[in-house]
Amino acid sequence: MRDIIQLLPDAIANQIAAGEVVQRPSSVVKELMENSIDAGASTIQLIIKDAGKGSIQVIDDGQGMSETDARMCFERHATSKIRKAEDLFTIKTMGFRGEAMASISSVAQVELKTKRAEDELGTLIKIDASVLKSQELIQCAKGTSIIIRNLFYNIPARRNFLKSNPVEIRHILDEFQRISLANPSIKFSFIQNDQETYSLPQDKLGKRIVDLFGKSYREQLAACEEDTSYVSIKGYVGKPEHAKKTRGEQFFFVNNRFIKNSYLNHAVMTAYERLLADGAFPFYVLFLSIDPAHIDINVHPTKTEIKFDDERSIYAIVQAAVRKTLSINNLIPSLDFETNVNFNVPTTFGLTQRTIEKSDAFKARPTQDAWKKLYEGMDNNISAFEQQSSTQSMKIFDSTNEPKTIQSKANDWNYDSVNTPNFQVIQVLQKYLAIHITDGLLLIDQKKAYQRILYDQFIDHLNRKNGASQQLLFPRTIHINPADQMLFEEIKQEIKDLGFRMEMDSDHNFLVQGIPSGILEEDCQLIIEGILEQIKNENTDFASHRNEKIAQAMANKTASKYTQKKLSHEEMNALIGQLFASSNPNFSPNGEEISKLMTENYLINLFS
- β-partners of residue 250 are 284
Give the architecture-level CATH label for domain 394-608.
2-Layer Sandwich (3.30)
* CA separation for the pair 62, 138 (Å, rounded): 18
- pLDDT of the residue at 334: 46
CB 176 within 8 A of CB 29: yes
- pLDDT of the residue at 272: 93
Give the architecture-level CATH label for domain 10-202.
2-Layer Sandwich (3.30)
What phi, psi does 271 have (nearest 5°)? -65, -25
- pLDDT of the residue at 16: 62
Strands 425-428 and 595-599, bridge-based pairing: unpaired
Strands (E) located in 362-500: 396-397, 403-404, 425-428, 432-437, 440-445, 469-478
Q: Which residues lie below 8 Å from residue 155, measured CB to CB, with a gap of 6+?
A: 15, 107
CB 55 within 8 A of CB 149: yes
Helix axes 546-559, 482-498, angle to 10 degrees: 90
* CA separation for the pair 265, 315 (Å, rounded): 9
**What is the DSSP track for 93-147?**
SS--SS-HHHHHHHSSEEEEEEE-TT-SSEEEEEEETTEEEEEEEE---SEEEEE
Could you tell me the sign of the dihedral formed by the alpha carbons of 265, 240, 484, 146, in that order? negative
Q: Which residues lie below 8 Å from residue 177, measured CB to CB, with a gap of 6+?
A: 212, 483
**Helix, strand and coil percent figures for the chain, each rounded to 5:** 40, 25, 40
CB 532 within 8 A of CB 487: yes
Q: What is the DSSP letter of 283?
A: -
- pLDDT of the residue at 401: 37
Q: Could you give the C-alpha distances from 124 to 40, 55, 104, 110, 131, in angstroms and in order?
A: 21, 18, 17, 10, 15
Query: Residue 187: helix, strand or coil by DSSP?
Result: strand
* CA separation for the pair 192, 35 (Å, rounded): 21
- β-partners of residue 516 are 469
- pLDDT of the residue at 92: 59
What residue ranges do the domains of the chain occupy? 10-202, 206-328, 394-608
- For the stretch 520-562, pLDDT in tens is 777 777 788 777 877 766 655 565 677 888 888 888 878 877 7
31: exposed, middle or buried (C-beta count within 10 Å: 0-12, 13-18, 19+)? buried
* CA separation for the pair 305, 385 (Å, rounded): 56
Count of CB atoms situated within 10 Å of the CB of 432: 17
* CA separation for the pair 276, 268 (Å, rounded): 12
Q: Which fold has domain 206-328?
A: Ribosomal Protein S5; domain 2 (3.30.230)
pTM of the model: 0.67
Q: Could you give the C-alpha distances from 244 to 110, 403, 438, 551, in angstroms and in order?
A: 41, 44, 44, 21
Segments of the chain scoring below 50 in pLDDT:
334-422
Which residue type does 101 have?
Answer: M
